[in-house]
Structure 1
């Protein structure tokens, strides 16, 4: 075992970039300092906020909730509410929900649990099954990502949140960056910023990513040394269907052999975002309003409503409205070709 570089205690983490080892106490200080610096650097929080924290009960989100709770205790003008979305994945989410409940009740943190079933009428398992029966070409993670963002925004707004904090860490960001490079989705790359403002739509709750510059490994260690989660790893059963699963493994192998790979990719992303923004002749188009549900959307029909239409989850009136909007927009007509 290696000793801490700052005291004689046993180290729980070694940073291979600076060569320093950290015991539990000094690692906690190091990690929290980096998160506070990220929040200040990107001006994520104002003097008065109702911070809604998107929590899954896993290591990253529990770490984020813990740090923001500590910060909010020092700022009396900040209110904190934890928000958990239960997607409805049998054998998975029920293993993580107890972590939030125990923590929230022990530390007197407000929390709310909502579900896909509440907002969409089906669990994710039922959505995936329905999609397969209908022959739809989407992977489980496609449904989950779209509907999770949809429900998080609606629920955070209903709670009166002024900002929605998510626990996306550096690993998540660079994985998404590479996925979008592979798909040639440069418009999506331009959105991979640490802060997403209202985009001109009052219905959108601004997003912040306080873990934007910290590694997944670090947030996991922080959760474990602070007793925020039980040892062990609960992986979503649908993860293996996603290209992210493969990219994650490749990046971890590269980081092991060439420390700093992930940080290099993040700096590359930041530079590319700057180049994209400077190259744009007009400002980024603000959010419009989905003509079906009224939620913020960059298209006439939001992705959630497109999926709900294809899955048969809309009312007859809403479905007719979808067809009318699609007929008005030629770029959407390929959707109707399947129905």
Structure 2
């Protein structure tokens, strides 16, 4: 049995970088101090905020909600609202919703549950089915990622949030970094920042990633020692179709053999994203307004509306408008699988 480096209790976590072992109490202190330092370092939160926390009911998001709830009790100028997006994944999402409800009701945390069905008219299962019937090449995670961001931003705006906190941890970020390198998507790398600001568009709720320097393993342990999730937490059934699933395994193997690999990749990301942003003269800080839905977008039509057009789930009037805009901006065709 490994003992805590600071007391005689049993260790629940060993940090292979600093060689220290932590019992439950010292681990909680270590974890929370690390996240507070990240928040301060990147100026994520001001004196007065309405923090919307994107929650899935899983280990990372429940850990983030719990920690921000603890911090908000010390700062009376912070208001906290948890928002859970129910994508509509049969046999999965309904199993994670109770974790949020139980926590929120026990701790008197304001929360709201929204859904793809409410904002898009279809569940993710239905969207995936439609995409397959139409022969579209997109993976379920592609739809989910785009539509989750779309719905979360709208829901955060609807409840009056001043900032949207997501539980993306260090593992998520470096996995996305490698995926973008593989796909030659260098413009997206510059967006992998701990803070995403408005970019001149009032419709975009600024986003923060308080777990930017937290390992997935650490947030999982924090959730377990605080009793925030069940030990038998399920993985999304669509995850196996994503390249992320493979990259995650490779990175975990490298980290185990060469501790510090993930932090090294994060430092690499920071340097590369800075170079890209300077080369593009901060063009990534500006948003356009989607000509279909009015939400912030990097292009005249946002990715969510592009997907909805290809899926055939826009109204006839909206579809006609998409075709008109594409004719006006022909380069948008490259973002479509077919037209």
TM bucket (normalised to shorter chain) is: over 0.9
Aligned partner of 2:206 in structure 1 is 206
The superposition leaves residues 11-70 of structure 1 with CA deviations (integer Å, 9 ceiling, x where unpaired) of 000000111000000000000000000000000000000000000000000000000000
Return the offset for 1:336.
7.5
Output the CA distance in 2 between the equivalents of 1:31 and 1:310.
44
Match of 2:304 in 1: 304
TM superposition shift of 1:338: 3.2
Post-superposition shift, 1:337?
8.5
Measure, in 2, the Cα distance between the counterparts of 1:92 and 1:262. 29
Whether the 8 Å contact between 1:323 and 1:336 is mirrored in structure 2 is no
Structure 2 CA distance, aligned partners of 1:332 and 1:283? 18
Deviation (angstroms), 1:284: 3.2
Structure 2 unpaired stretches of 5+: none
Match of 2:92 in 1: 92
Secondary structure at the counterpart of residue 113 of structure 2: strand
Q: Secondary structure at the match of 1:188?
A: helix
Distance (whole Å) between structure 1 residues aligned to residue 245 and residue 233 of structure 2:
15
- Distance in 2, matches of 1:89 and 1:179, equals 24
Report the secondary structure of 1:318's partner residue.
helix
Q: Any idea what the Cα deviations from partners look like across 1:212-262, whole Å, max 9, x if unmatched?
A: 001000000000000111111311000010000000000000001000000
User: Is 1:145 equivalent to 2:138 in the alignment?
Assistant: no
2:86 and 2:113 in contact (8 A); partners too: yes
Q: Is the 8 A contact 2:198 2:205 kept in 1?
A: yes
Q: CA deviation at 1:208?
A: 0.1
- Structure 1 counterpart SS, 2:52: strand
Cα deviation, residue 170, structure 1: 0.2
- TM-score normalised over the length of structure 2: 0.98
In 2, the alpha carbon distance for the partners of 1:152 and 1:80 equals 15
Residue 265 (structure 1) shift: 0.4
1:14 and 2:14 correspond: yes
Report how far residue 279 of structure 1 moved: 2.5
> What is the CA–CA distance in structure 1 between the aligned matches of 2:231 and 2:282, rounded to whole Å?
49
Aligned counterparts, 1:232-271, within 5 A: 232-271=232-271
Pair 318,37 (structure 1): closer, same or farther in 2 beyond 3 Å: same
Give the secondary structure class of the aligned counterpart of 1:6: coil
> 1:82 offset after TM fit, Å?
0.3
Q: CA deviation at 1:330?
A: 1.3
Q: Distance in 1 between matches of 2:220 and 2:3?
A: 20
> Which residue is 2:135 aligned to?
135
In the alignment, is the contact (CA less than 8 A) between 1:139 and 1:241 conserved in 2?
Answer: yes
Tell me the matched-pair count.
339
Q: Which runs of 5+ in 1 are unaligned?
A: none
User: Does structure 1 conserve the Cα–Cα contact (< 8 Å) formed by 2:38 and 2:212?
Assistant: yes
- Which segment is superposed worse, 284-293 or 3-12? 284-293
Which residue matches 1:183? 183
Give the corresponding residue for 1:332. 332
Shift of 1:333: 3.3
Contact 2:170–2:214 under 8 Å retained in 1: yes
C-alpha displacement of 1:334: 5.1
- Quote the Cα distance in structure 1 between the aligned partners of 2:281 and 2:24: 50
Q: CA deviation at 1:276?
A: 1.6
Q: Is the 8 A contact 1:195 1:208 kept in 2?
A: yes
Q: Secondary structure at the match of 1:273?
A: helix
TM-score (norm 1): 0.98
RMSD across aligned C-alpha pairs, in angstroms?
Answer: 1.1
Matched-pair contact (CA < 8 Å) for 2:137–2:337? no
The alpha carbon displacement at 1:84 in A equals 0.1
Alpha-carbon distance in 2 for matches of 1:182, 1:201: 30
User: In the alignment, what sits opposite 1:161?
Assistant: 161
Deviates most, 7-16 or 280-289: 280-289
Distance 1:101 1:334 in 2: 42
Distance 1:338 1:258 in 2: 44
Deviation per residue, 1:155-195 (Å, 9 max, x gap): 00000000000000000000000000101111000000000
- Contact 2:63/2:219 (<8 A) preserved: yes
